[in-house]
Every structure is written in C-alpha cells, then in structure tokens.
Amino acid sequence: MRSRPDCTTSPPLRRPAWWVAVLAVLAVLIPLTLGFHWSKKGWDDEHRSYPPLPHGYRDIVDVFRQPCNAASHDQSMRWRAHDTGDMYRIEFHKKLGGMRTDMVKGTGGSSTNLDNDVYGHIQNAHLQPYIKHGIYGYACRAKRNSNEWSTHAFGIAIDVSSAEEYMGKCTSTVNKYHASIWQNHGWYWGLAFCDPMHFQYAEDY
C-alpha cells in the first residue's frame, strides 16, 4: 500500500534568476573599480607647476595671455557623463594640465592641475556618479549678455553637469559633492553668482 503524499510540505523555494545576482554585484563593483583603477595604477594628487591664480581681467591676461590664443585650447581630455553615458571632449589651457604623470601620458602641457589632479581626485573619491551630462571647456566667446570675454575664451573654465546645474540656479544638487575638490586646486565655483555648473581658474572676474 502506497503512502499518501504529505500535503503540508512547503514547495521548494525559488532562487532568484542568476542575472539579478550578477547585476547586484556589478552595481557595487563598477564604482569601486573606477576608483581602484586610478589608485592602483599609481594615481597621486601631484599638485605640480600650477600657474598663479589670477584676480581680475588684467591678471588673467598676464598669466594666460590674450583670449582665444593657441595655448587656450592646446590641451584636451575626455569625460563621460554618468547619467547618459555621453563622452565629452573638453579643451583647456596648456598651463592647466598635460604634464606627464602615472595616469596621464603627457601631451605637452605644463601642469598636473585639471586632467590628473582634479579629474583624478573625483574618480579616486568615487564621485563620478555626480557628473551629469553637459560638460564643456574652451569656447572663443564673450560672457552671455556682455561685451567682456568669457573665461571659457582663455581655456580656464569648465562647465560640469550643465543640464542639471543650469545658469540662474542659485543652489546645487550634484556639483556640490565635488566642488571642494575644484576649490582645493585653485578653481572658483560659479555658485557664488548663481551659475553652479561653472568652475574657473580665476577670481574677481
């Protein structure tokens, strides 16, 4: 005589799909890997050969020469927006980067400021998730609604997360997480004049 099945036995638990577990692991590892990449490869905040920080237009010209000159866009780097994955190529003054380090191959620039120190610091501190789309550098133009040259025309200004941190916004939602890194490397944050996307290597202008 066969025994009757035990109807009180619970059905076996289903394990979550393997791809769910993989995605969960990647979500943790990818940000850590990016920072580890910089530190493991020998990244260091070199802080070498920074130009003097200019105060006002005359100082800017003394340090970086006339706007839109060849040195203003001599250097470039690529920076990916975290939210869209778009890759931006930004140009900047040769005095603000391009010096060879363990992380930067060296492209004829004369300091470690922007590409190794600022960018590297943001990556190493795992702050790339706060870099949103709209990343711009050199542009031969005047200030908006003004006849004065923009600091972008000297290659000494970078706009970061411009779609999120638009001009006229007097608070910050993402750039506030890495603004201190820029400031510790000589950059003035445009939040002071309600332009939170804007960082410039100059004051009083």
| Residue closest to 191 by CA, chosen among 177, 172, 174 | 172
CA distance 174 to 4: 64
Amino acid 145: pLDDT: 87
| Residue closest to 197 by CA, chosen among 182, 184, 185, 205 | 182
CA distance 82 to 177: 14
Amino acid 35: pLDDT: 53
The torsion angles phi and psi of 79, rounded to 5 degrees, stand at -140, 125
Amino acid 164: pLDDT: 97
- Asked if residues 121 and 74 have their Cβ atoms less than 8 Å apart, the reply is no
Residue entry with tokens 């470690």? 112
For residue 64, give both structure tokens: 């970086």
CA distance 137 to 200: 10
Task: List per-residue pLDDT tens for the chain, 205 residues long.
Answer: 444 444 444 444 444 455 544 444 444 444 444 455 677 778 999 999 999 999 999 999 999 999 999 999 999 999 999 999 999 999 999 999 999 999 999 999 999 999 999 999 999 999 999 999 999 999 999 998 899 999 999 999 999 999 999 999 999 999 999 999 999 999 999 999 999 999 999 999 9
